Amino acid sequence: MTRDQTNVCVREDDHHRLLGREVIHPATQRTGTVATVYVRTSKLTGRTISRTAHMRPLDSSGREWTADPAALTPLRALAPDMPAGARR
């Protein structure tokens, strides 16, 4: 473990708006379901360093991948009154 890693706290963002949603990653054109979002925070300053979304593929390839959640686009419009994972 490097010194930089000891100064970072990693936690899951249990309330991220894309959790359980089907999304597309425009940079790669891959589609998947957001399984989790991790937030890395500096222990020294409390500031967010980065966020990483982990996706499961919709194409049955079995190859999961990660991306910045801000770069993902929902495949269906999000309704503000629907909890994550709900379907219409």
pLDDT at 20: 93
pLDDT in tens, the chain (88 residues): 455 568 899 999 999 999 999 999 999 999 999 999 999 999 999 999 999 999 999 988 889 999 999 999 999 876 665 656 666 5
How far apart, in whole angstroms, are the C-alpha atoms of residue 65 and residue 62?
Answer: 10
Q: From 46, 41, 37, select the one nearest 19 (Cα to Cα).
A: 37
User: How many CB atoms are located within 10 Å of the residue 19 CB?
Assistant: 19
Task: Look up the pTM and report it.
Answer: 0.76
